Copies of this chain bind each other. A is one copy, B any other.
């Protein structure tokens, strides 16, 4: 029955939009970064005090997070940060893989020269940042790489959707980040995907993307044994 440490919440000034939006993102970031540990109880009152807002935007934010599957609300009782579930992560990965494979196959067929140029520019940034060991910035370009592939096949509206359905995965990925050399490997995998798109070879693109995405679930499975307190039984 451990309680979330509200001092881990960022100030609202770091976010934009309505009060509800800002509270939502502040709590969301705390959960996704594991500063709010899986399983801890979230109380509204301390959050209101910490962020200097009333209960309305906080209640609203928590309802939205419960739809994202990041918190579990027990009616009339309590709200807590949801635990990780290998089952959920596996299913979310299945969806993500299905979509990204279909996308990359089409991207390899349809990409324009301009889109290819943007991918090439993104790859240059990636290589640069990995040498610089700037992981936070690298993470942004990793996301952009996948978004650019969506743009190649005209499905950029799905980028936020696939993000919202991969939230559990995102949280789990953080536990794997410290692995040395992983980012360098990631760039190599992206490079293989990029090359296949450049050569307009859909089959190769699919294979490269598949082995890239399967790295995650492969690395994740040993984790349940290492950190059982974070997972549902």
Contact = CB atoms under 8 A, between A and B. Distances in A.
Main secondary structure of the interface of A (DSSP, over half): helix
Nearest to A153: B94
Interface string A87-100: 11011101101110
A60 B63 CA distance: 9
Given A18-B75, A60-B63, A75-B18, A95 B99 contact: yes
A102 B98 contact: yes
A59 to B, nearest CB: 9
A222 to B, nearest CB: 20
Q: Give the interface centre of A94, A102, A158 by most chain B CB atoms within 10 Å.
A: A94
A63 B61 CA distance: 11
Contact of A157 (B67, B88, B162): B88
A157 B98 contact: no
A101 interface: yes
Interface residues of A, number: 27
Nearest to A75: B18
A151 B94 CA distance: 13
A198 B87 CA distance: 26
Nearest to A76: B18
Contacts of A95: 99, 155, 158, 161-162
Nearest to A162: B95
A90 B67 CA distance: 24
12 contacts: A63-B64, A87-B157, A91-B154, A91-B157, A94-B153, A94-B158, A95-B155, A97-B102, A98-B98, A98-B99, A98-B101, A98-B102
